[in-house]
Amino acid sequence: MKLSRAEVEHIAELAKLGLTEEEKKKFCEQLSAILEYAEVLQQLDTEAIPPTATVLPLQNVMRPDKVAPSFPREDILANAPDVAEGCFRVRAILE
């Protein structure tokens, strides 16, 4: 299966990536190759195998509703690109 240029542009847009013409061409080929590999897998007969959401032999891993102390704010904000008024500061978001 070959991805179209428009599809690559759409994916890039969703990932908020600005691609050059050259990159579009390159990713078109690479992503198409990945899809082709998936097509190989799709040839397997999985009729009798129930779909699964996990590869781990686990289910119902839950915790009781108990509060534990949060992290000090300085530690959390230490990772912020920019800080103001106890908040992470980012470029203006326009609705």
Partner 1 sequence: MKYEAIIGMEVHAELLTRSKMFCSCSAAFFGAEPNTLTCPVCTGMPGVLPVINRKAVEYTIMTALALNCEIAEASVFSRKNYFYPDLPKSYQISMYDLPLSENGWLEIEVDGNSRRIGIERVHLEEDTAKLFHVGGYSLVDFNRSGVPLMEIVSRPDMRSADEAYAYLIKLRQILRYLGVSSGDMEKGAMRCEANVSLRPVGSAEYGTKVEVKNLNSFRSVKLALDYEIRRQSRILDERGNIEQVTMGWDEDRGVTVVQRSKEYAHDYRYFPEPDLPPLSISREWVEEIKAKLPELPDARRDRFVAEYGLPAYDAGVLTADKAVADYFEACVRAYPQAKTISNWIGGELFRLLKEAETGIEEVKVTPAALAELLTLVEKGTINQNTAKAVLGEMFRSGRAAAEIVAEEGLAQISDADELGPVIDEVIAAHPDEVAAYRAGKERLLGWFVGQVMKATRGKANPQLVTSLLKEKLQRRQ
Summarize as ranges the residues that interact with partner 1 (CB under 8 A).
Answer: 14, 16, 53-54, 56, 58-68, 70-71, 73, 76-77, 79, 84-93, 95
- Tell whether the torsion through CA atoms of 64, 65, 67 and 70 is positive or negative: positive
Q: What is the nearest approach in angstroms of partner 1 to the Cβ of residue 60? A: 6
Furthest-apart CA pair in the chain: how many Å? 58
Q: How far is the CB of 17 from partner 1 (least distance, A)?
A: 11
C-beta of 48: minimal distance to partner 1 in Å? 18
Within 10 Å of residue 8's Cβ, how many Cβ atoms? 21
Nearer to partner 1, 25 or 73 (CB): 73
Nearer to partner 1, 44 or 57 (CB): 57
- Residues with Cβ within 8 Å of 79's Cβ and at least 6 positions away in sequence, in order, are none
Of the pair 22, 64, the CB lying nearest partner 1 is at 64
Q: How far apart are the C-alpha atoms of 80 and 74, rounded to whole Å?
A: 10
